[in-house]
Structure 1
Amino acid sequence: MTLLRSTLFNVAFFAFTAVASLVCLPLVPLLDRAGRLALLAWWAERVLGLLRIVVGIRVRVTGREHLPEDGPALIASKHQSAFDTIVWLTLLPRPAYVLKRTLLWIPIYGWYARATGMIAIDRTAGPAAIRHLIRAGEGAVAEGRQIIIFPEGTRTAPGERRPYQPGVAALYARSRLPVIPVATDSGLCWGRRAFHKHPGTITVAVLPPIPPGLPREAMLKRLETAIEAETDRLLASAPPSA
């Protein structure tokens, strides 16, 4: 049953995404950035609907009160699954993902990422990548957008940890915004680069913001402790069938 439902979802996902992208593409030059983001949110809501109907994956968000209703924000989220790159399009009014630059080379996807002002980083550029991240982050903050960054820099399997990268600390210091930690157990239902999708409930746990002004090392330690402790708690409390 899992194989069948996963196959149906993947076929539906790629077919719907291809058709929606081609239909909406002519509208992109006619819309401002808010309109383009609204198109992405429309797409993301329907993808989550497919997950629920076809696979049986539901989404639970805790700590919504910590998310901004409007205005700039800095959100640092655990990243276990492609799901994490979709869900924030439905939770925030003007999201700006920090993503790897190579994703811009993907036809259609890359065009939409550019058109909606996502922050693309060349991971091989060293200090130049941090400088670009800071400049792009300042622009996003000036536009009142909510920046989503995955502090480990890549997807990690449930229970796996990687060092937190300096990008989130650079954004935190320059933006002077609180950083909002987020934990998740998304990898239990939608694995890293996994074909199979498993029914269950994905939890997105939004944690209390870390106030601005802390030294970078102190902020990173506090951020990692908050995210990893809550992620461990979510994984430990997940039902065996997840």
Structure 2
Amino acid sequence: MLLWIRNLLYWVVLVISTTVFFLCLLLLAPLPRRRRHFLGVAWCKVLMWMLENVIGLKYRLIGAEHIPNTPSIICSKHQSGWETLSLQTIFPYQIYVAKRELLWIPIFGWGLALMNAIMINRSERARANQQIIEQGRERLRHGFWITVFPEGTRVKPGVRGKYKLGAARMAIDLQIPLVPVAHNAGEFWPRNSFLKYPGLITMVIGPAIAPEAGKSADDLMSEAADWIEARQQEIGGVGPCAGQARSGAPARSA
């Protein structure tokens, strides 16, 4: 019963804070992109505080020393909503590559647009790849990092999804490294679940992978995917929702 009450408090704060921060974001919309980006980070910090202090969902970070000093592409495992919040508080200012359908969510989607996200139509793959490169280059000029969930959607703990090549192609075209990130957040925050469970999430940041000469997008993504999945095996199986699924899928797609 107490878990339900704590989660209800989290959702109440989520709704109220999202509305308040969005209204503030609208007022600051005329400001330069980086000047207004702090609002999004502040919103994430509020929700992270609620998760840690109300739900009891904390985390430990391994490999912070691997975060580069220059803008890079964050290539992260995607299991829950937790990493969409935590990455904003751990790495420098960043924007997401996200599916266009998120723009249709009232308030949240509009705020996402104001936060300079790269919104793509996944049904038009050729156009989506072009958008990622073009808009990624433009965001990079403003000093933003770029966060990509290469599997394209949230996957259950223990599942290896298809690692798409968009992030690797962007790294090669823009000549910036990929930073692989593994975590087991889905074992505490299941997909589409009202409940988030207390516990200790582990996030691991790996050494940056440079787009070296002669290395193809397939090679680059394979290296990142293999590193991420190896770490998933090491840190997985500890949360209350671990072991929901254990079937795998091919590591990448053309």
Counterpart Cα distance in 2 of 1:93 and 1:112? 19
1:64 aligns with 2:68: no
Higher deviation after alignment, 194-203 or 109-118:
109-118
Question: Which residue of structure 2 aligns with residue 195 of structure 1?
Answer: 194
Matched-pair identity in %: 36
Question: Which residue of structure 1 aligns with residue 174 of structure 2?
Answer: 175
Q: Name the TM-score, length of structure 2 as normaliser.
A: 0.88
Higher deviation after alignment, 144-153 or 217-226:
217-226
CA gap 1:161/1:75 in 2 versus in 1, 3 angstroms: same
Counterpart Cα distance in 2 of 1:41 and 1:100? 20
Runs of 4+ in 1 over 3 A off after TM superposition: 239-242
For 2:135, give the aligned amino acid. Answer: A
Counterpart Cα distance in 1 of 2:178 and 2:17? 34
Q: Name the TM-score, length of structure 1 as normaliser.
A: 0.92
1:206 aligns with 2:238: no
Question: How far does residue 161 in structure 1 lie from its aligned partner after superposition?
Answer: 1.6
For 2:200, give the aligned amino acid. Answer: T
Counterpart Cα distance in 1 of 2:130 and 2:86? 28
Counterpart Cα distance in 2 of 1:146 and 1:239? 30
Counterpart Cα distance in 1 of 2:241 and 2:26? 44
Counterpart Cα distance in 2 of 1:239 and 1:85? 19
Matches within 5 A, 1:1-242: 1-22=2-23, 24-69=24-69, 71-213=70-212, 214-236=215-237, 238=238
Question: Which residue of structure 1 aligns with residue 246 of structure 2?
Answer: none
**Residue pair 1:13, 1:50 contacting (<8 A) in 2 also:** no
The alignment of Structure 1 onto Structure 2 pairs a total of residues equal to: 239
Question: How far does residue 59 in structure 1 lie from its aligned partner after superposition?
Answer: 2.2
Counterpart Cα distance in 2 of 1:145 and 1:83? 21
**Residue pair 2:184, 2:235 contacting (<8 A) in 1 also:** yes
Counterpart Cα distance in 2 of 1:217 and 1:121? 21
When the two chains are superposed, the root-mean-square deviation of aligned CA atoms in Å is: 1.8
CA gap 1:141/1:19 in 2 versus in 1, 3 angstroms: closer
